[in-house]
Amino acid sequence: MKTQHTAYSILDLALVSEGYTLKQTYNNALKLAQNAETFGYTRYWLAEHHNAPNIASSATSVLIGYVAQGTKTLRIGSGGIMLPNHSPLIVAEQFGTLGALYPNRIDLGLGRASGTDRETAQAIRSDFMEAAHSFPKELDKIQQYFSTKNASSKVRATVAEGVNVPVYILGSSTDSAHLAAKKGLPYSFASHFATTHLWDAIAIYRKEFKPSADLETPYVMAGVNIIVADTDEEAHRLSTSLIRMILGILTGKRDYVQPPTAMTAEYEEILQHPQIHQMLKYSFIGSKATVKSQVKAFMAKTEADELIAVTNIYDIKDRIRSYELFAEIMKELNE
């Protein structure tokens, strides 16, 4: 039974809500991170996505710099950079620069997906599929560029050499679990939407883990959807924006995040659709007492070292309040 402290963090998409400008969206992302810092969160990560009108975190490294500049102690990073979209050299240069500007505060989470549709992935990088299959080798290049041993190489990311930017492996299937274990790196599973392989992935990672210079023992992060409000009814009302987002993804009709409405019988029926029900399996929605019991059970089962919370709701005030209540829950569960 896991008894040590469980860290809690935020995964953000810089959601664009209906009626908000991009500037307001970025200001709200910073406001959320600043509040998270006071609530005791460990890190605030931004995820790379493209060609989605309701997600503004596409230029991920740029936005990380903006948020890091406006905070003081919170770790800021990527959850993640989709490595097949990029040259490892450029990623190392970008994050080496961030790591030099904000020492010991920058994380580099790496994934092998595209973070977009097939057509956009091809527009980003014509050899995307080849790059995706080469993910382990591309990861090796990233680590090499950050190493001081690379100083004698002909190709160098000089701004990254020796800079402390921890690398995390992201996964939504079992593939990355094997890689994270082999490399001795921390592993973050996207259980906030990819629920099917959570248990197998965690088991594989812990069983196959090999200690490294980066990490002596396995470190598991698990994504969860969190919506906490003063009452169960209010939390479920806020969750209608999330339901509409999921519907937009599944139907290919993405739109800005919509204001919440009453939780109707129609929404209840949508939640019972097998695909949506499975996708939102690890969604903890309700009052503080309700969510606390759900999170406690999840923590006991996963024994995760860290929970990374995703709160996809319309209004920034409601989001900040939800994260405040979730922080209170985690502090109580860690006592």
Say which residue the tokens 């680590």 belong to.
Answer: 143
Q: Report the alpha-carbon distance of residue 277 to residue 275 in Å, rounded.
A: 6
Predicted local confidence at residue 1, as pLDDT: 43
Whole-number Cα distances in Å, 66 to 28, 77, 104, 279, 291: 12, 11, 16, 31, 32
Could you say which architecture CATH assigns to the domain 1-165? Alpha-Beta Barrel (3.20)
Q: Residue-wise pLDDT tens for the chain (335 aa)?
A: 455 799 999 999 999 999 999 999 999 999 999 999 999 999 999 999 999 999 999 999 999 999 999 999 999 999 999 999 999 999 999 999 999 999 999 999 999 987 777 888 788 777 877 877 899 999 999 999 999 999 999 999 999 999 999 999 999 999 999 999 999 999 999 999 999 999 999 999 999 999 999 999 999 999 999 999 999 999 999 999 999 999 988 888 889 999 999 999 999 999 999 999 999 999 999 999 999 999 999 999 999 999 999 999 999 999 999 999 999 999 999 99
Beta bridge partners of 188: 170, 221
CA angle 286, 287, 292 (to 5 degrees): 90
Longest pairwise C-alpha distance within the chain: 65
- Which residue type occupies 199? W
CB-based contact 310:55 (threshold 8 Å): no
Cis ω for the linkage preceding 80 (within 30 of 0): yes
Say which residue the tokens 């200001």 belong to.
Answer: 27
CB-based contact 308:221 (threshold 8 Å): yes
Alpha carbon 65 to its chain's center: 17
Q: Report the alpha-carbon distance of residue 290 to residue 287 in Å, rounded.
A: 5
The two structure tokens encoding residue 162: 């020796």
Sequence-distant (6+) residues with CB within 8 A of 298 are: 222, 224, 282, 284, 304, 307
Predicted local confidence at residue 140, as pLDDT: 97
Q: Report the alpha-carbon distance of residue 161 to residue 131 in Å, rounded.
A: 24
Which of 306, 284, 215 lies closest to 2 in space, CA to CA?
306
Delimit the domains of the chain by residue range: 1-165, 222-335
Say which residue the tokens 């500049």 belong to.
Answer: 69
Burial code (b: 16+ CB inside 10 Å, e: under 16) for 232-248 equals: eebbbbbbbbbbbbbbb
Question: Residues, the chain, total?
Answer: 335
Phi and psi of 168, rounded to 5°?
Answer: -120, 140
CB-based contact 187:169 (threshold 8 Å): yes
pTM, entire model: 0.95
